[in-house]
């Protein structure tokens, strides 16, 4: 068994727990009373506003999972490449590419039945079949515009496919493998950055641009472009996040990684943040960007820099546990490992679970939950606590029948 990436467990678990609370707040509480968020940030006591600030900054941090996916993909590849005597690049990366394709299929199943309300496109909000029916309290029919939402799973699936293709060219021969990695992945990273910048410049006014496509009934072109750019989980620039994670994952197998590589990480992270600050002084409207349906590139730059710094800090904090078994990890890590081990399952079902709980509490309270601070904060805490209870008992049977369990079983059946 290969060594665990404890800081990845902590990072992913923390991110998915935050997502549970964030989605319950945005899709349930704020959706019930639209001005609530603005009131919290303008009229609440300063301590409440300080607590609420992360909801603004981290609301676009779904890309964090793309960075983590890039890290884990290449880290595991390096481990398998160095430990397996019968490593065959063609078969290995075909299997890993198929796993990315399976994630894309799961994404569209989730999008059709279990995803929260989507407003990341022109026109009225669209709803998935099951969650949407519960949210509207009437039958929700499928809408083609709902599929314009790229979604985190689809982005990660595409990233895995890209990494598999590049990995095949890098690992098919042992000679100069290191130089091939930095060459292939470096060129790929520069190309994806260039495409991301080009799309951001080309679509200068995304609201007007996408509304024109919608008004002219050019729906397939609209959906295709929203997959590529300006969506919250668009492929460009999120593929950039995946490639950045790949560079980190490649170096994690080296001893003393933190001595040199993490100095580079800190410099890259700080450089991204400084670049964002410069853009901010040049007139970029930060709050307008966060509230916009179409995410501007400067916010992705800020998020990338911040995420790289967080990854470096988490690694340094938990490096002493990197080579230890799970039972020897501190309690706080074991807590987040539960959420990390089932992050895909939680992502798929958290919205469906939260709307059921929301409906139950709403019927018991008899008034809009969003009207009372302690009621809706209690709802958020209860939502996360219920997931903790489920995972606490579920781990006793190794999360059998979770989405991760099914994917693992499917991969075991795929033999080449």
The predicted-structure confidence for 328-364, as pLDDT tens digits, reads as follows 556 777 899 899 999 999 999 999 999 999 989 888 8
Least confident range of 140-144, 309-313, 317-321: 317-321
Share of the chain above pLDDT 90, in %: 49
- Measured CA to CA, the distance from residue 210 to residue 266 in angstroms comes to 37
So what's the pLDDT on residue 254?
A: 66
Indicate if the pLDDT at residue 386 is higher than 70.
Answer: yes
At residue 292's C-alpha, the angle toward residues 291 and 295, to 5°, is 115
So what's the pLDDT on residue 31?
A: 80
Give the bridge partners for 2, in sequence order: none
**Using CB atoms within 10 A of its CB, is residue 293 exposed (0-12), middle (13-18) or buried (19+)?**
middle
Model confidence, pTM: 0.91
Dihedral of alpha carbons 132, 344, 73, 182, sign: positive
Q: Which residue has the tokens 């603004």?
A: 56
Indicate if the pLDDT at residue 285 is higher than 80.
Answer: no
At residue 232's C-alpha, the angle toward residues 52 and 287, to 5°, is 45
Name the pLDDT band for 412 (thresholds 50, 70, 90). Answer: confident
pLDDT digits (tens, 9 = 90+) for 80-138: 888 887 888 998 999 999 999 999 999 999 999 999 888 888 888 899 999 999 988 88
So what's the pLDDT on residue 1?
A: 41
Closest CA to 49 of 34, 35, 60, 38: 38
Indicate if the pLDDT at residue 388 is higher than 80.
Answer: yes
CB atoms within 10 A of CB 87: 15
Torsions phi, psi for 118 (to 5 deg): -115, 130
Q: What's the whole-number average pLDDT of the chain?
A: 86
Share of the chain above pLDDT 70, in %: 88
Least confident range of 20-34, 79-93, 246-260, 380-394: 246-260
């Amino acid at each position: 068994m290969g060594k665990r990436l404890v800081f990845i467990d902590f990072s992913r678990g923390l991110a998915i727990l935050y997502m549970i609370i964030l989605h319950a707040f945005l899709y349930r509480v704020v959706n019930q009373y639209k001005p609530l968020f603005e009131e919290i940030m303008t009229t609440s006591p300063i301590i409440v506003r300080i607590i609420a600030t992360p909801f603004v900054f981290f609301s676009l941090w779904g890309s964090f999972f793309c960075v983590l996916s890039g890290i884990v993909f290449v880290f595991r590849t390096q481990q398998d490449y160095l430990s397996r005597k019968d490593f065959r690049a063609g078969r290995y990366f075909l299997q890993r590419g198929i796993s990315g394709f399976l994630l894309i299929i799961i994404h569209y199943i989730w999008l059709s039945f279990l995803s929260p309300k989507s407003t990341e496109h022109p026109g009225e909000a669209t709803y998935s079949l099951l969650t949407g029916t519960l949210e509207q309290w009437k039958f929700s029919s499928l809408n083609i515009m709902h599929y314009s939402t790229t979604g985190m799973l689809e982005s990660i699936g595409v990233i895995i496919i890209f990494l598999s293709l590049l990995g095949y060219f890098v690992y098919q021969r042992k000679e100069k493998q290191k130089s091939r990695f930095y060459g292939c992945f470096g060129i790929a990273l520069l190309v994806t950055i260039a495409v991301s910048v080009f799309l951001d410049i080309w679509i200068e006014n995304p609201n007007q641009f996408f509304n024109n496509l919608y008004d002219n009934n050019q729906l397939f072109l609209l959906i295709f472009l929203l997959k590529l750019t300006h969506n919250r989980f668009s492929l460009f620039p999120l593929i950039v996040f995946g490639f950045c994670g790949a560079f980190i994952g490649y170096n994690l197998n080296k001893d003393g990684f933190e001595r040199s590589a993490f100095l580079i990480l800190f410099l890259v992270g700080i450089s991204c943040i400084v670049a964002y600050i410069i853009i901010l002084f040049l007139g970029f409207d930060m709050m307008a960007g966060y509230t916009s349906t179409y995410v501007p590139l400067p916010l992705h730059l800020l998020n990338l820099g911040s995420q790289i710094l967080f990854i470096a800090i988490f690694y340094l904090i938990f490096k002493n546990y990197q080579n230890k078994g799970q039972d020897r990890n501190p309690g706080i890590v074991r807590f987040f490992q539960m959420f990390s081990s089932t992050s895909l399952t939680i992502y798929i079902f958290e919205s469906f679970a939260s709307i059921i709980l929301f409906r139950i509490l709403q019927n018991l309270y008899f008034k809009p939950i969003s009207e009372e601070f302690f009621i809706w904060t209690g709802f958020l805490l209860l939502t996360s606590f219920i997931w903790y209870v489920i995972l606490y008992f579920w781990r006793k049977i190794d999360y059998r029948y979770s989405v991760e369990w099914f994917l693992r079983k499917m991969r075991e059946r795929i033999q080449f």
